[in-house]
Amino acid sequence: MSDFWSWFIVALVVLNIAFCVWLLWYTSKRRNNQLPSGETTGHVWDGDVTEYNKPLPRWWINLFYLTVIFAIGYMVVYPSLGNKEGILSWSSTEQHEAERAEADAAFAEAYERYLTMPVAEIARSPEALAAGRNLYVHNCAQCHGSDARGARGYPNLTDDVWLWTNDEPTLLATIMHGRQAVMPALGTVIGDDAAITSVAVYVQSLSGLRTDPGLAAAGKAGYEMVCAACHGIDGKGNPLLGAPNLTDADWLYGPDLATIREGIVNGLDAQMPPFEPVLGEKRIRLVAAYVHALAAGEATAQVDAETDAGAVRVASANP
C-alpha cells in the first residue's frame, strides 16, 4: 500500500472515532433534570403509542466510551492504521507460516515413511488411504467429483481407462506437474460439413455404436488422413500424447454425433493444474495411492475400516 492510501486510512479511522466520541458527548449532555416533563420525540405508532425523548443511560454511554478506548488500544498493538504494524509487529502472514511449519512437522513425523514406499504399497495402508481421501476431497473433487467418477471433460478415476496410463511414475507426474490435453480444430482440414459428419460417424463406429454403414465407410479415409496421427489407424489412442482410445465405451465428452462434430470443428482444450506447489511430494504420494486404490476398487473398504478405527488425520489438513 502506498503512503498516500496509508495516511488516507489513518485519517479516515481517526475522524470516525472522533465523530463517534463527539456524537456520544452531544447526545448525552442533556440529562433527565434538564428535559421538560413528558417531552416526546413526536413519533406516534398505532394511534396512541409515543416515544419519550430521554438521553441514553449513563452506563450504556460509559460502555461505549470503553469500546472506543479498546479500539484505540487495539490499533496501537495490532496493524490497523494503514501501513502501521503495531507495537507487537504481528502479521497474519507470519502466523500462517508458523502454523504451516507446525503442520508440516506433524505430517512429516506421522507420514515420512511413505515417501520412499511404492504407491501400490501405500495403497494397502488404510491409514494412508484415509489421509489420501481427505486430500483428494479438498483438492481434486471439484473437478473429478466426490465419488471420483468425473464429469463431462473430467476423467473417471474409478475405472481402468487412463489417457496417460496409471503406472507410478506417470501418475505421480500427472498430479505433480499437471496435464495439457489439446485437440486442434480440424474442421477446415477435413473438409465440408458432409466430410466432417462422415468422419464423426466413423469415430462412432469404432466403438461399436450403431451407425450408418455408408457414412462410416465414407469417413474412414478422412479419419486415416487426419485423426490417425494421434489416435492411431486402429483408433486405440496414444498414451504418450494423451490421445484417447476411440474403440472403447468410455467417452470423455460424450458419444453423440453433435458432440463429436463439435470436437472436430472447434477442437478441445483441457488442463489439469500442477499440484506440487500446493501439496508437495509427500502429500501427492498419498493422493496417488488413493487414486490407485480407487481404480483397483480397493479404496472404499479400506478407508471405511480406517475411519471406524479412529485413525489420526494429521496429513489430511492442507498446510
Based on the number of CB atoms within 10 Å of its own CB, is 310 exposed (0-12), middle (13-18) or buried (19 or more)? exposed
Where a domain ends, among 34, 59, 77? 77
Give residue-wise pLDDT tens across range 199-214.
999 999 999 999 999 9
Residues contacting 304, CB < 8 A, separation 6+: none
Average pLDDT, the chain: 87
Residue 313 in any domain: the answer is no
Domain span holding position 210: 180-272
Between the alpha carbon of residue 136 and those of residues 39, 75, 164, 279, 280, the distances in Å are 67, 41, 19, 11, 14
Q: Are residues 17 and 156 in the same domain?
A: no
- Whether 150 and 226 share a structural domain: no
Q: Does 258 lie in the same domain as 239?
A: yes
Domain membership of residue 319 (yes or no) is no
249: domain CATH number is: 1.10.760.10
Q: Which of 77, 97, 132 is the endpoint of a domain?
A: 77
Mark whether 195 and 53 lie in a shared domain: no
pLDDT of residue 296: 79
The CA dihedral of 73, 78, 81, 84, to the nearest 10 degrees, is 120
Do 254 and 279 share a domain, yes or no? no
In a domain, 121, yes or no: yes
Number of domains in the chain: 3
Share of the chain above pLDDT 90, in %: 64
Regarding whether 265 and 277 lie in a shared domain, the answer is no
167 with 110, same domain: the answer is yes
Q: Within this chain, do residues 278 and 170 fall inside the same structural domain, yes or no? A: yes
Q: Are residues 112 and 174 in the same domain?
A: yes
Residue 315 placed within a domain? no
Q: Is residue 184 part of a domain?
A: yes
pLDDT, tens only, 68-97? 999 999 999 998 888 888 898 888 889 999
Assigned domain for 213 exists: yes
How many other C-beta atoms can be found within 10 angstroms of the C-beta atom of residue 317?
13
**Which is more confident, 185 or 309?**
185
Which range (19-28, 30-39, 114-123, 268-277) has the least confidence? 30-39
Do 42 and 167 belong to one domain? no
Domain assignment present for residue 84? The answer is: no
185 shares its domain with 268: yes
Query: Do 251 and 279 reside in the same domain of the chain?
Result: no
Q: What is the pLDDT of residue 85?
A: 85
